[in-house]
Amino acid sequence: MSGRTAIVIGHGMVGHRFVEALRARDDADAWSVTVLCEEELPAYDRVALSSYVGSWDAKELALAGNGFVDDAAVDLRVGVRAESIDRAARTVTTSDGDVLGYDALVLATGSYPFVPPVPGRDNDHCFVYRTLDDLDDIRARAEAAGPGAAGVVIGGGLLGLEAANALRQLGMAPHVVEHNSRLMPLQVDEGGGGLLARLVTDLGLTVHTGTGVASIAPGPAGVQVELSDGEVIDAGLVVFSAGVRPRDQLARDAGLDVAERGGVLTDIGCVTSDPAVFAVGECAAVEGQCYGLVAPGYATAEVVADRLLGGEAVFPGADLSTKLKLLGVDVASFGDVHATTPGALEVVLSDAAKGTYAKLVVSDDARTLLGGVLVGDATAYGSLRPLVGSELPGDPAALISPAGEKPGAGSLPDDAQVCSCNAVTKGEICAAIADGASDLAAVKSCTNAGTTCGGCLPTVKSLLAASGVELSKALCEHFTQSRAELFEIVRATGTRTFSALIARYGTGSGCDICKPVVASILASTSADNVVDGESSGHVLDGEQAALQDTNDHFLANMQRNGTYSVVPRMPGGECTPEQLITIGEIARDFGLYLKVTGGQRIDLFGARVEQLPQIWQRLVDVGMESGHAYGKSLRTVKSCVGSTWCRYGVQDSVGMAVRLENRYRGLRAPHKIKLAVSGCARECAEARSKDVGVIATENGWNLYVGGNGGQSPRHAQLLAGDLDDETLVRYIDRYLMFYVRTADRLQRTAPWVESLEGGLDHLKAVVCDDSLGIADDLEAAMAQHVAGYRDEWAGVLEDPEKLSRFVSFVNAPDVPDPTVGFDDSGPRKVPVMMGVPDVPGRRQER
């Protein structure tokens, strides 16, 4: 048995990290540890608290090894709190009456939510947002309030916005009240806060900044919240998320020194005024300063573990950098966000049309990076944050410009901190690689880099690649195989469910990376199981339905106000008079907005989820099919009118476009696919901007591949020329099926072609010359797809179980979403969230 005893009061993330660090380093088993966990559950990931909403499975948030079941030196007492500390006797009295002795006491009591002294704050409809139990209580009240009820969140910081998103997921209409002039005032500046407010408003939140809450009183919906500007909100509940305060009462009662603004006062070694007592995490005021982020909390845990084993570690300071996604909006900040350094200059790039804001704070000579803010697009965070305090590798404006060259990992100095959560520098990572850490898992194990939030992993991978290490092609932590390898496994074994695949070839329960990928693979290979001319699989069959994202789950694209678009297929842009009339009647009867698209079809916008089956029944009745606008699959085959009508046309482009669209409709792929056919070299169908472009010649067709529009446009490249109809189709069959089988997840054809060893030349050899001897197999697979195709919406309409999914609220299937609304006052119909005020100029921005 260990000779000395440590008691840890609190088993949150930091308390758990301390125990892990101590046990990992205590080779001589010098210490035994008793952990008092006040909650009924041991340590869980409080940073990911919002992910509990929807799954309602606490096990998914549990920290690895939080039960210490294999460690006899750790005594974890769940549901037991510390009542008092006797420093003279060095004992702790627990809530179940035990008196425990200690040689070292570690306070990891964390913090508690601050509830402002608002009249009515004790109302039963008021909650805080801190624990799993809090979320369970909020859920119960939200369900009682009913779909569409307002929910008020007091506090517009990070946790406040997460709480608002939780209410939104529970079917409520969230209002966020922030007394500062902007959201997330600690993390972002006025410009970033302004854009953030606009983006989250577009997503359904009502934002009240520059105001507070005057009172809370009982009301018809539950509570009436009166704001300091006089506005009154009838709400179903209120959530306080106005910051936290350190839980230091136990320390105060024991006579320990506390900081002026609260928190257990410690030195840089995390030692309190009693040398036998330490404090870590949010309850610790290191030299008078409390830190509310997990990274500095982990740093304090490491310091105390080192001290108990005879070391002299000190708190290294706190990196308060933040990178997160709030309601789908990227937000990041690092360093001197508010330009408080004397002489600091600000370089700002704001693009209202794209919804992005970027600011760098630099020294007065514009050579040293001091900090920055990124809203809307935080992809530069990984390369910029480690440069704080270092000389910039180029022009500051170029570093945040979409067209500018971004600094690579190699340009970072060795002392640049790559992993802020665990204070790991580039030099430490490179040293681990030099010492034999030959993959990402080894680097994480040696350095702890990337083991907390994961935001630094792209930089770590870059350092591995720069060192000549071959990176793992694992799809995610649950599958060591690449997407292409999983595709071949599914195809070879005939596996038809995610659960069977992960049980045999993976680990764990899956994630939001591997589940949609496997769903796509299963859809792509469903034609391999054709019975009597029909595929045996549908994307909404059985457990496969649970793998789909929102768009595929409802076979429609969700729009900004929670409604959906309906996009029937029009091969080659053709449409019969009866079909066109039906589309018009549907738009009139359901109040939908019509738009003729660049893909030569008609989109209908504004359908509520429960209306989708009714609309599609009428479309199917006149012979129309799903246009797959929602899926990673073939979208459209655009065409000009070709030789049938045009005096310049040399081939029948419409006929070929119709043939290709009917052949490849429903083909699931790593990303969306677009084709076009032009009837002559005048290129009216813009074929060279498509994944597959076909351009007529006097002698047949030229085939172009690997073109993409979008954020990074690419012109397609000529694969083969002057092809007859049958050879053209055969080459496209091979090309598309080769792409479907070998591309990475979410990889479009342009970067896929570029990633192939040998590039276009290799692709020509495979597709045109059959250099790999797989041409027959690729063609047979495409023939199976064609034979097994069945319209997905027709399959839904014939199946009552699938139809039952199309409701706004599972617990109230007959209730339409009351937050959905439209503004018809302008020249066109536009979507709005009911109860969400419009922003001046928003319509122009749309």
CA distance 488 to 445: 31
Q: What's the 3-state SS for 721-778?
A: EEECHHHHHHHHHHHHHHHHHHCCCCCCHHHHHHHCCCHHHHHHHHHCCCCCCCHHHH
Alpha-carbon Rg for the chain, nearest whole angstrom, is 30
The set of residues, in sequence order, having a beta carbon less than 8 Å from that of 439 and lying 6+ positions away, is 464, 469, 471, 472
Looking at the chain, how many residues does it have?
846
H or E element at residue 487: helix 483-493
Q: Does 684 count as an annotated binding residue?
A: yes
Q: Which 3 state secondary structure label does DSSP give 445?
A: helix
Q: What's the 3-state SS for 526-577?
A: HHHHEECCEECCCCCCCCHHHHCCHHHHCCCEECCCCCEEECECCHHHCCCH
CA distance 278 to 270: 6
The set of residues, in sequence order, having a beta carbon less than 8 Å from that of 372 and lying 6+ positions away, is 332, 333, 334, 335, 337, 358, 359, 360, 361, 384, 385, 400
* Count of beta carbons in the 10 Å neighbourhood of residue 287: 10
Which amino acid is present at 514?
Answer: C
Contacts 24+ apart (CB under 8 A), 772-775: 774/738, 775/734
**Residue 8 · residue 32 · CB < 8 Å:** no
Q: Does 270 count as an annotated binding residue?
A: no
CA distance 631 to 610: 20
**Residue 375 · residue 329 · CB < 8 Å:** yes
Q: Which two tokens stand for residue 720?
A: 């083969």
CA distance 124 to 130: 17
Q: Does 640 count as an annotated binding residue?
A: yes
Q: Which 3 state secondary structure label does DSSP give 644?
A: helix
CA 652 to chain CA centroid, Å, is 45
**Residue 490 · residue 501 · CB < 8 Å:** yes
Q: Which 3 state secondary structure label does DSSP give 354?
A: coil
Picking from 318, 327, 385, 386, the residue whose alpha carbon sits closest to that of residue 355 is 327
Q: Does 514 count as an annotated binding residue?
A: no
Return phi, psi of residue 367, to 5°: -110, -20
CA distance 806 to 736: 32
**Residue 793 · residue 625 · CB < 8 Å:** yes
Residues annotated in the binding site for [4Fe-4S] cluster, as ranges? Answer: 640, 646, 680, 684
Task: Output the known binding site.
Answer: 640, 646, 680, 684
- Residue stretches of the annotated binding site for siroheme: 684
